[in-house]
Structure 1
Amino acid sequence: MSNGPGLFADIGKLARDLLTREYSSDQKFSISTNSVSGLVLTSTALKKGVVHGAEVATQYKYRNALFNVKIDTDSNVLTSITFSEILPSTKAIASFKVPDYNSSKLEVQYFHDHATVTAAADLKLNPLIDVTATLGSPTISFGAEAGYDTTSRTFSKYNVGVSVTMPHKCASIILGDKGDSIKASYVQQSTRSAAVGELYRKLSTNENIITVGGMYAADHLTNVKAKLNSNGKLGALLHHEVLPKSIVTISGEIDTKTLDKYPRFGLSLSLNP
């Protein structure tokens, strides 16, 4: 919508994606179809441990509105509606879940060339209210977020962060958990590879976790990723496009400090004819 600093959630997002995105211990198969009218239908079969499940998701785009409906085997229906440009540089997102109506939420996002502001609230009598604000530019941005519980009249969270993004590199620092934790990350990229380092420190317990990882594009169809943290957790991932827009992802994780435990494996196959 604008060339502004992005959302508060974007601070540190590149590092998070490299270290967590597509890493999974589940088995998942999904197939999608779409029509020229903007209707997208996705069917997914999922296994989490010994638990099996399935879901059907439908997406439809009409002008500046995007409708998403997801139904799972537990008879839960999750619906979200996104309106873009209902006002200049503004996006609104409404979501609700049946039968759990207490999970309904309304969020409004405003984008400006030098700032972004979001406000979200549960659609119930005493809602939780989340507000974020980010100032700056695509190169450097400063942000803050706060959550307020209207039932207890207390702040449920308040965090601040800063991000610096330059060609082929990005650094960020987030002071979170009401000032009790610090997360610092750095990403260095090239045309075919990326390296990331992240330091997490819990101030109240003096706990430190260091994580390093990377991604390498073996060719235009295949990416490999790996990560290792100071607790001895080693993860690896293979992402391959077997057919145009059809992806198979194989991931695994092992605890190098307790090799007697079985490693965790995940498999995902996504077909998009």
Structure 2
Amino acid sequence: MGPGLYSEIGKKARASGTKKNELIFGEIHSQLKNKNVTVDVKANSDSNLLTTVTIDELATPGLKTIFSFVVPDQRSGKVELQYLHDYAGVNASIGLTANPVVNLAGVVGTKALSVGADVSFDTATGNFTKYNAGLSVTNADLVAALTLNNKGDSLGASYYHLVSPLSAVGAELTHSFASSENTLTFGTQHQLDPLTTVKARFNNYGKASALIQHEWRPKSFLTISTEVDTKAIEKSSKVGLSLVLKP
């Protein structure tokens, strides 16, 4: 198995707790699949409809084409190519606008050790809007990652440990060079039974979140989540509901 894509660097530690997109107030996700074509449709409480069309193994093994757009955002259309190899992973995307943003990311290495970079260029302004780099080390029950983000301003280190077949813990430390601020986040997840998982996350600024996810039928999930600022509980609590339907 190869190193995967750049977006997977540090993903394990973030997944050990709740993620931002798991705290949506309301979401319905449906998926249709026919041979090598998959269509995903997501509708959320902000009246946005995200449609993603994925074509696997296009022309050559390991190559994937993805077309996505959000209704009603007319500038959200994007085409992406992903290629996975035993020792490399590359993805490139371009927005479907007159002056698109072009993104290119690549990873080289193995499943155990990989390094990568992620760059975005805005053709409208002629400026680089993003350049990140990352390093990931993986073994059977531990994943560690080091990333440099926000044009070199943010340094992050993350750690994920599978402490048992049912439980995992993770931590992420982010340092901003511009503001000299540090953000430390701890996360944990536990499988209550083969179909139900709970997750929780807490950071040094007092933000806490938790969720419970139940697979009520194969590949279909019901998720209930909550988020609270422990320093302002009376005005910051949020509750989320997500429903994923897949054939």
Matches within 5 A, 1:215-226: 215-226=189-200
Match of 2:115 among 129, 136, 142: 142
CA RMSD, 1 decimal: 2.8
Matches within 5 A, 1:44-123: 57=30, 59-68=31-40, 78-88=50-60, 89-97=62-70, 100-123=73-96
Q: How big is each residue's C-alpha offset from its partner over 1:66-122, in whole Å with a ceiling of 9 and x where there is no partner?
A: 234567899866543222222222111122455543222111111111111111111
In the aligned structure 2, how far is the partner of 1:80 from the partner of 1:171? 30
Paired residue secondary structure (2:75): helix
In the aligned structure 2, how far is the partner of 1:269 from the partner of 1:95? 20
| TM-fit CA distance, 1:219 | 2.8
Preserved CA contact (<8 Å) 1:23 1:252: no
Preserved CA contact (<8 Å) 1:214 1:227: yes
Structure 1 unmatched runs, 5+: 31-41, 43-56
Match of 1:258 among 223, 232, 237: 232
| TM-fit CA distance, 1:181 | 0.1
Paired residue secondary structure (1:211): strand
In the aligned structure 1, how far is the partner of 2:109 from the partner of 2:167? 28
Distance verdict in 2 for CA 1:237–1:185, change over 3 Å: same
Paired residue secondary structure (1:218): strand
In the aligned structure 1, how far is the partner of 2:41 from the partner of 2:134? 33
TM-score of the pair, normalised by structure 1: 0.78
TM-score of the pair, normalised by structure 2: 0.85
Paired residue secondary structure (1:152): coil
Distance verdict in 2 for CA 1:162–1:272, change over 3 Å: closer
Q: How big is each residue's C-alpha offset from its partner over 1:215-257, in whole Å with a ceiling of 9 and x where there is no partner?
A: 122333432222211001222223345x444644333233222
Tell me the residue number matched to 1:209: 183
2:211 matches 1:237: yes
In the aligned structure 1, how far is the partner of 2:157 from the partner of 2:49? 38
Tell me the residue number matched to 1:51: none
